[in-house]
Structure 1
């Protein structure tokens, strides 16, 4: 068990938590959600290394609790000349080698008692860590992730997604009591995402996973922890049930809260009139009545209904162009090939028109990012960009576009803004305001960095955007805002994405990488293909309808239209039953 009690923590320029508490108990698989920059990764780091932080409150972890951890920033270690099997087995093999070495010493040693003690300690560690079925468990996990064919592959040859799954498997094989993962789904193609879902659901123990991935949220968790606005809410149940419960409570509490506000305002007016009367007339009775009314006001304030802790809001993301062009061929790729040790793409041909919205789809490691970077460089003989087309690029490696030693203000001044006031006015549209403008970009969350990239490329006014995993690290409502911005953008977009929700919602067609080449596929056929592989019929449409209803409920609440909010809530309840 892990128990957090009344924890508060602040950065120098930002408050993160205010008296938050929650408990993780046996067999709970918990999704840890919240908007970008709300402090989820920091809270995990505090749990992992409490001695490194000065915080108020307490963290209780049962003695001998073993925690497994998978970072969101894991990369393949190209220096390791080991196979997948060797990598997964290295800790197990070390313990076995230690036992073998002790046994060899026993053959010639005179002090057997010490060696027997060391032998028993090593054997106990081996059994406690891996049990007596390590090889069987290793094979089960590889089969579950559909990676058994990679057992003898060098790990330096794995794609980023494959290596992330191998890291998850390695942590699980050590049988931790608690498994913590920070956005393990980032950059995974959908086959690997399904594998991750299988691994999560197979794990026996406590699990805490930061994720914004709608597919995992809907299929993997029986507890939700939601961190927002310095506060935390925990819910025992599925993500779909949590969202519905949250919206229902918002409708009820906001209605009561407004009624309380009105009563308090009424009483304030009475108090003002009584105070004015007492000052003018000096009547004892007026003074007594004033004191009584002030005590009544204190009681009203004390019992005041608090507004719901989280405002479900869709941030404003815009993508603009200064130079829209009439429909024409903006990008032409002819007989493009690329290879490293092996051929990735061969004789690829396609065209993008000046108003096309297109997604490149393919498994991890098939050359998508390499192609996009060659288009950005525009010096490849197979790539032709029309003369009046201006290109802006969003990278999945955020430090390629953002100088992480800059503050937000400095980054946009370097990008050509004339004054700090201009920067403040512009980035406020992307929800960057106040002290955060003076923070180093390197200290921001992954979602905040991606939103900054979107703000930066929009500021260029380019009429062709090349986006490499633009939804990565973004919270769900930011993902939806980006989908809307892509639809409204008056230019062409070519984006790499493994987020099939976004692909299905906002592109005209896809370029599918298969067998080292690219073929164009209509969005309708693409949907049919992924339904057959991964989803029940109409799943993506249902998910989008659900999110739209949730957003419309939020809008109705902002407008204090409670009747509409309740009617929409009934529609949402009926829709949820179809999942």
Structure 2
């Protein structure tokens, strides 16, 4: 189990943990929650020994294998599957041991290494790695693409897959959903539900935490409090606890006031001095209960728009993309005042491309987009945090915004406005580069609100927001009088804000008739269809067939055509017959080798005689070489047969 006893941890002058204690049992799935800056990531660093506690005890079983998502972007030309395979440290250790044994021609060590490879699941490791990648949204043609060919968000998915590949006893996941779309998020939930080790996850996604966790660990004011249940259960329990705590505090205050009144009244009387002194000692001994002091919940509101054009936008056969590449085509829709539109679709289908085109960040490739008179767009881009000037403070950003974009405002007015977003005192001049991700996101929201837009285009606005700030955003959007177009993988936000959905898929934009539960079922259906298609033999190149309901019946082939087709099939069969026979022989050979390998590995497991171990190791090495050569020839024959069959 994991045990923290009276732990104190400092980061610079800040006390992150202050006499904190907690116990987690093996196999528990734990949500670690708390405000941004509370110290959740520091606790992860403590559990992985990247940080050392200043006081107290931290116990994690020494033999436990740990896994977490590396935060740095990988720079390598290795293929995606090979990169993920390196996350299986047990498999990599077994491979290294085999290489060392072969270099030393040590048969005994080779036998042990082969046994370790078998225990590590080497025979299906590559397939498991590719299953992880495809679950996280990678396409078949991307499985062996160089890591350096992927964008930053996809590289973080690679890091996540690499962490999931590790056969961990303890898995630490810090905001694993930030770079995922809904289909990958649903897949990850299912995977983590099956994970048998101990899991601690930091997330600001309420539905994700509710689906995964059974224990919630709350970090607040340097203390850790354990709650049984998921995040929704934690909220209920904490509210009840706070009510009881406040009631106990108020009752104690009444008792203390009564004691103090007795002391003040009788301390000067000789006949009552002894009783008064006992009351003084009772008052001193009393353990003082703290009042319920919580940081004020963050809230804000969007200003009333100056005007509400209707319609706000009209699209006429609009196409969007980059350069000559069309990603979304033929958009023919209108956006009306007051609509709340959620934009759904897998990563890479064109959601962000569509939003950028609407925002004017890139020109349409074809068609027309007509704006209503007085349209004012507020755009929150996924990369909005990156365009902040890191060497300037929030006040400098607001002064420039008021001057260049408007509306204008005096410095004191801008300071007061920033105060509504928790930028007070010296924070208004603190360099943005030193702010947390959540603080940067609040600054971007402040800049958005100041502009008084009537159309909000929000592309993943919650990636760096804690749960309280997400709740505040949801409430503000519901009170907003203008129109909202929202791209988000935060299902709670989509449910609370949007009353209709657009689906971006297969290059087109169309209304989605259903809610988020319907969308998740649709995603599962699409996944099953893709799996069935992947299992079918490759079809000849050409356009995809239309749905069965609209396909015209093909005219029957003539007798001469059928005869010619039959002769062609017979000729292809004759040409490929020797190759297919060789493939059958290789199949049988590989089956024999696999059986011999399994028998030898069983001998090792049963405790083979010491004199036989070295010979078993050498034979296992020879079998491995033979299997590799046979597999290569089998693949070559398959490619030749496929080429001759086209």
With structure 2 as the length reference, what TM-score do the two structures score?
Answer: 0.68
1:434-460 Cα shifts (integer Å, max 9, x gaps)? 665565433444333322221221122
Residue from 354, 359, 380 that aligns with 1:371: 354
Checking the alignment, whether the CA contact within 8 Å between 1:85 and 1:151 is kept in structure 2 is no
1:17-46 Cα shifts (integer Å, max 9, x gaps)? 321122333212111111222221222233
With structure 1 as the length reference, what TM-score do the two structures score?
Answer: 0.76
Secondary structure of the residue aligned to 1:225 is strand
1:259 maps to what in 2?
A: 251
- Give, in angstroms, the shift of residue 513 of structure 1: 0.6
Distance across 2 between alignment mates of 1:390 and 1:338: 23
User: How many residues were matched structurally?
Assistant: 512
Residue from 509, 515, 531 that aligns with 1:526: 515
2:85 maps to what in 1?
A: 89
1:428 paired with 2:419, answer yes
1:6 paired with 2:6, answer yes
Checking the alignment, whether the CA contact within 8 Å between 1:84 and 1:150 is kept in structure 2 is no
Larger radius of gyration: 2
- Give, in angstroms, the shift of residue 316 of structure 1: 0.8
Secondary structure of the residue aligned to 1:495 is strand
2:566 maps to what in 1?
A: none
Checking the alignment, whether the CA contact within 8 Å between 1:159 and 1:365 is kept in structure 2 is no
| Alpha carbons of structure 1 residues 8 and 120: separation in structure 2 relative to 1, 3 Å | farther
1:134 paired with 2:125, answer yes
Secondary structure of the residue aligned to 2:489 is coil
1:516 maps to what in 2?
A: 507
Secondary structure of the residue aligned to 2:27 is coil
| Alpha carbons of structure 1 residues 338 and 147: separation in structure 2 relative to 1, 3 Å | closer
What is the RMSD of the two structures over their aligned residues, measured on CA atoms?
Answer: 3.8
- Give, in angstroms, the shift of residue 497 of structure 1: 1.4
1:38 paired with 2:41, answer no
Distance across 2 between alignment mates of 1:440 and 1:15: 22
Secondary structure of the residue aligned to 2:333 is strand
Checking the alignment, whether the CA contact within 8 Å between 2:320 and 2:357 is kept in structure 1 is no
1:70 paired with 2:53, answer no
1:507 paired with 2:477, answer no
Secondary structure of the residue aligned to 1:466 is strand
Distance across 1 between alignment mates of 2:8 and 2:177: 29
Distance across 1 between alignment mates of 2:94 and 2:272: 87
Distance across 2 between alignment mates of 1:329 and 1:120: 74
- 1:139-158 matched pairs, under 5 angstroms: 141=132, 149=140, 152=143, 154=145
Checking the alignment, whether the CA contact within 8 Å between 2:309 and 2:375 is kept in structure 1 is no
1:293-335 Cα shifts (integer Å, max 9, x gaps)? 32232244x1x44456867x742122224x4214423333442
1:291 maps to what in 2?
A: 277
- 1:521-560 matched pairs, under 5 angstroms: 521=512, 525-527=514-516, 529-530=518-519, 532-533=521-522
1:393 paired with 2:379, answer yes
Checking the alignment, whether the CA contact within 8 Å between 1:14 and 1:436 is kept in structure 2 is no
- 1:151-550 matched pairs, under 5 angstroms: 152=143, 154=145, 164-274=156-266, 278=268, 283-285=269-271, 287-300=273-286, 302=287, 304-307=288-291, 314-321=297-304, 323-334=305-316, 335-339=318-322, 343-377=326-360, 380=363, 382-386=368-372, 388-416=374-402, 422-433=413-424, 439-521=430-512, 525-527=514-516, 529-530=518-519, 532-533=521-522
Distance across 2 between alignment mates of 1:255 and 1:332: 57
Checking the alignment, whether the CA contact within 8 Å between 2:28 and 2:214 is kept in structure 1 is yes
Checking the alignment, whether the CA contact within 8 Å between 2:67 and 2:170 is kept in structure 1 is yes
Secondary structure of the residue aligned to 1:242 is helix
Structure 2: any 5+ residue segments left out of the alignment? 403-407, 525-646
Checking the alignment, whether the CA contact within 8 Å between 1:5 and 1:21 is kept in structure 2 is yes
- Give, in angstroms, the shift of residue 170 of structure 1: 2.1
1:65-100 Cα shifts (integer Å, max 9, x gaps)? 3321115x566x5x6554432332346786676456
| Alpha carbons of structure 1 residues 104 and 217: separation in structure 2 relative to 1, 3 Å | closer
1:116-136 Cα shifts (integer Å, max 9, x gaps)? 76x689768757866675346
- Give, in angstroms, the shift of residue 287 of structure 1: 5.0
Distance across 1 between alignment mates of 2:194 and 2:297: 34
Secondary structure of the residue aligned to 1:430 is coil
Structure 1: any 5+ residue segments left out of the alignment? 536-579
Distance across 2 between alignment mates of 1:47 and 1:409: 38
